[in-house]
Amino acid sequence: MFGFGGGTSSYEEITETDVVLLWGSNAREAHPIFFHHLLRGIDNGAAMYAVDPRRTSSAEFADVWLGLDVGTDIALANTVAREIIAQGLHNRSFIEHATTGFDDYAASVEPFTLDEGERLTGVPAEAIAEMAHAYATAPRAQILWTLGITEHHTAVENVLSLCNLALLTGHVGRWGSGLVPLRGQNNVQGGGDMGALPDRLPGFQLLSDPQVRARYESTWGCELNPIPGKHLTLMFDAMEEGELRALYVIGENPADSEANVAHARKLLEGLDLLVVQDISLTRTARMADVVLPAAAGWASSEGTVTSSERRVQRVRAAVPPQGDARDDVRIISELASHMGVQWTATSAHELWDEMRSLSPLHGGMSWERLEASGGLQWPCPHEDHPGAEFLHSWLWEPGLDGHAPAPFSTVVHRPPAEALSEQFPLRLTTGRVLDSYNTGAQSAGYSSPIRSGDAIEVSPADAAQLEIVEGDTVRVSSPRGSVDMEVHVTDRLPTGLVFTTFHFPDLVDANLLTNDAWDPRSGTAEFKAAAVRIDPLRDGASRQAVAAGGAGG
């Protein structure tokens, strides 16, 4: 945010903060060891407000659980802002010093009174007011979020609505205060940092900047295409248009992980060429024309990954790759060689040195420093720099240290893309559980005693109304498909909301149901909000999963 795609704070800071807003995140299960730091903060006296439609295992540790309706995050954030402003609790001197656009922003949130907030979000006005006051008056406060914020068709606006709260109160750019998106994969931060974004080069440098391009061109000895590529969702659009005919997939399983997955599978099947490089024969790999077996990078390769606190850390080879599997770097280098390019830098160490010569954020992170330390946090521009514990301290410097002021963003509340209807009256949301991970390519390999498989979680009131009980098999249908699932009744859910995971796609093809409406700015689909119906299955009916068009799952 404010120029870099990274969380502002170090984990250690949360142990010394005063107020935590855990927003759209079940970190207790999805980021368990970060949650240890958060628990230490709570033990040290921090108050936690958990904003989540579900009363999650994280929410159990909160002072207040704000169980908002799915997809009303902007309405809630705007109500919090309006209450802070109405009570005069905003940080006027910080706003004056470091921001622009406050007046327009204040006008935009004016309609979001506490009563209106309660009406839009379902959260009691008193709870919203309490959170607003606690956040605004805390000496230090952090907002943490994960996919509950970003897996919506308003993903970017959701994030901006939270950034607004930090600007309003000055809870950013200081030790203990910050904005922290918890990263879901061990190197999703590093991937973005390294330029695995359509419009960026390593270190978040803009591809469109001719000076930046010139430096890369001179090092790489070739000309760079200045036109940004496509993110994943646009690639699927291009497949649909017939414009994209060949796909090289590395370490991703879109045939299981995409929303409205039946549609995604059809597009993948229609490609002229599908190449998959992965550690196991995922569903996507089984569809491929060519499969390149890859070594498990974290256990069989040398390299680095970057965490949610921007910490670059070494991974090291401990065991040999299985069978014919090879290191990713070796596979890609050999492909390049077959295409007639002989790369000279092929070891992780050489590649790292080349990258840090081009990315100012990483310039000071020598391989030797990474080896010797427990990791270094970017930005780390030179070798005497200790690495940055938190970002954006310039917001508090005289003259903003030469930066442009941080803009408030006016964000409009828009409900989920798919409205509930008579035919599909229940809201389905998806998420992760503690012992499993994504589509199971890794986590299905071990025998977890607490594994429950993918059930459909239903509130007691809905279960009673549908006349279903724990363990029943039901057919869950959305406009895109139907999946038969076992029922788990839980009072963690409010009436009208149902929940499932997506960790066992070969058993329960949950993404047949999810909505592929997506945010054009982030490319993220609205996994968190589909409209569904639940029909009890009669005795003897066999379980199945079908797409609405009839294609089996």
Q: How far is the CB of 487 from another protein (least distance, A)?
A: 15
The nearest distance, CB 157 to another protein, in angstroms, is: 23
Task: Supply the minimum distance, in Å, between the C-beta of residue 376 and another protein.
Answer: 12
CB of 185 to another protein, least distance (A): 6
Instruction: Tell the smallest beta-carbon distance from residue 119 to another protein (Å).
Output: 36
Beta carbon nearer to another protein, 311 or 492: 311
Q: Report in angstroms how near the CB of residue 435 gets to another protein at its nearest.
A: 5
Cβ atoms within 10 A of the Cβ of 99, count? 20
Return phi, psi of residue 511, to 5°: -75, 0
Q: Which residues contact 283 (CB under 8 A, 6 or more apart)?
A: 253, 255, 256, 439, 505, 506
- Closest to another protein by CB, 202 vs 387, is 387
Beta partners for residue 430, in sequence order: 500
Q: Which is nearer to another protein, 456 or 531 (CB)?
A: 456
Instruction: Confirm if 549 and 445 have CB atoms less than 8 A apart.
Output: no
Helix 102-109, helix 73-86: angle, nearest 10: 110
How far apart are alpha carbons 169 and 51 in whole angstroms?
Answer: 19
Q: Which is nearer to another protein, 309 or 519 (CB)?
A: 309
Given the complex with another protein, which of 16 and 116 has the nearer CB atom?
A: 16
Q: Look up residue 62 and give its two tokens.
A: 């909160």
In sequence order, what are the residues at sequence separation of 6 or more whose Cβ sits closer than 8 angstroms to the Cβ of residue 457? 488, 489, 490, 492, 493, 498, 499, 500
Minimum distance from CB of 436 to another protein (Å)?
8
Q: How does DSSP classify residue 394?
A: G
Closer CB to another protein, 332 or 434, in the complex? 434
Nearer to another protein, 44 or 357 (CB): 44
Q: What is the b/e burial string over 148-187, where b = at least 16 CB atoms within 10 angstroms of the residue's CB?
A: bbbbbbbbbbbbbbbbbbbbbbbbbbbebbbbbbbbbeeb
Q: Which is nearer to another protein, 319 or 404 (CB)?
A: 319
Burial 526-549 (b: 16+ CB within 10 A, else e): bbbbbbbbbeebeeeeeeebbbbe
Give dist(CA 186, CA 125) in Å, integer.
Answer: 38
How many H helices and E strands in the chain? Answer: 21, 22
To another protein, the closest distance from the beta carbon of 24 in angstroms equals 15
- The region, left, alpha or beta by phi > 0 then psi within -120 to 50, assigned to residue 514 is beta
Contact 156/74 with Cβ under 8 angstroms? no
Choose between 342 and 447: whose C-beta lies nearer to another protein.
447
In the complex with another protein, which residue's Cβ is closer, 2 or 11? 11
Q: Cβ 431 to another protein, closest distance in Å?
A: 13
CB of 460 to another protein, least distance (A): 22
Structure token pair of residue 528: 């968190």
DSSP per-residue string spanning 350-378 = HHHHHHHHH-GGGTT--HHHHHHSS-EES
